[in-house]
Amino acid sequence: MYEHTLTDGTLWLTRPTGADIDRIVECCQDPEVGHWTTIPVPYTRSDAEEFLDKVVAPTWAGNAAVWALRTAPDGPVEGMLGLHTRGPGVCEIGFWLTEGHRGKGLMTRAITLACDFAFDPDGLALDRITWRAMVGNHPSAAAVRRVGFHYEGLARQGGIQRGTRVDEWHAARLASDPGVFAEGWPADIAPR
């Protein structure tokens, strides 16, 4: 697939490049990013280089995408959002955001842009986008719930983070689901 930059005029999603390596390393020093993701901790320059070579490049070569979140067309990386292939017509979404930009609606905007592109027949033409997060990652759950992801349950020890099994919440959005607040989530996971 060829690269696609997505924007709503406030947020730009672009492919991360080698010019972003130092900023990616800086962002991944945030303890919250390390706590809720599977990135190596500590995160080094070689980890960022490997991310670009072994995650970003193959993703764009297939029917998926990894974007850097920017608040200006040529601005610094303020987060990352990826759609990773999980079978025909299915991708899994994953994301993180820098501390200074959390709680301002940027991730909701980013997920909306990515889902619109992913479900568009002229985009990725996906049927389903899955999401999973370690139990306790309430901000991530709230972000996907706001854009139409439906809660599908708890996977006990369903994930692995740096060699340790962790419980995960699971949700998904279908191409036919509207991109609006999804009902039916347990109140203690992602309240209104």
pLDDT over 90 at 101, yes or no: yes
Give the model's pLDDT for residue 149. 98
Chain centre to alpha carbon of residue 79 = 9
How big is the chain, counted in residues?
192
Q: What is the pTM of this model?
A: 0.95
- pLDDT attached to residue 47: 98
Task: Dig out the tokens for 28 from the structure.
Answer: 């991944």
In the predicted structure, residue 2 carries a pLDDT above the cut 90: no
Its CATH class, for the domain covering 6-174, is: alpha beta
pLDDT (0 to 100) of residue 136: 96
Residues 121-127: what's their mean pLDDT?
Answer: 96
Q: How far apart are CA 11 and CA 9, in angstroms?
A: 6
Q: Taking a C-beta distance cutoff of 8 angstroms, is the pair 169, 189 a contact?
A: yes
pLDDT above 70 coverage of the chain, percent: 99
Q: Is the preceding peptide bond at 88 cis, omega within 30 degrees of 0?
A: no
pLDDT tens digit sequence for 129-152: 999 999 999 999 999 999 999 999
Confidence of residue 106 (pLDDT cuts 50, 70, 90): very high
Task: List Cβ neighbours of 2 (8 Å cut-off, separation of 6 or more).
Answer: none
- Note the pLDDT of residue 63: 85
The span from the CA of 126 to the CA of 117, in Å, is 9
The yes-or-no verdict on residue 1 having pLDDT over 70 is no
Q: Write the pLDDT tens digit of every residue in 18-63.
A: 999 999 999 999 999 999 999 999 999 999 999 999 999 999 988 8
**Segment 156-182, tens digit of pLDDT:** 999 999 999 999 999 999 999 999 999
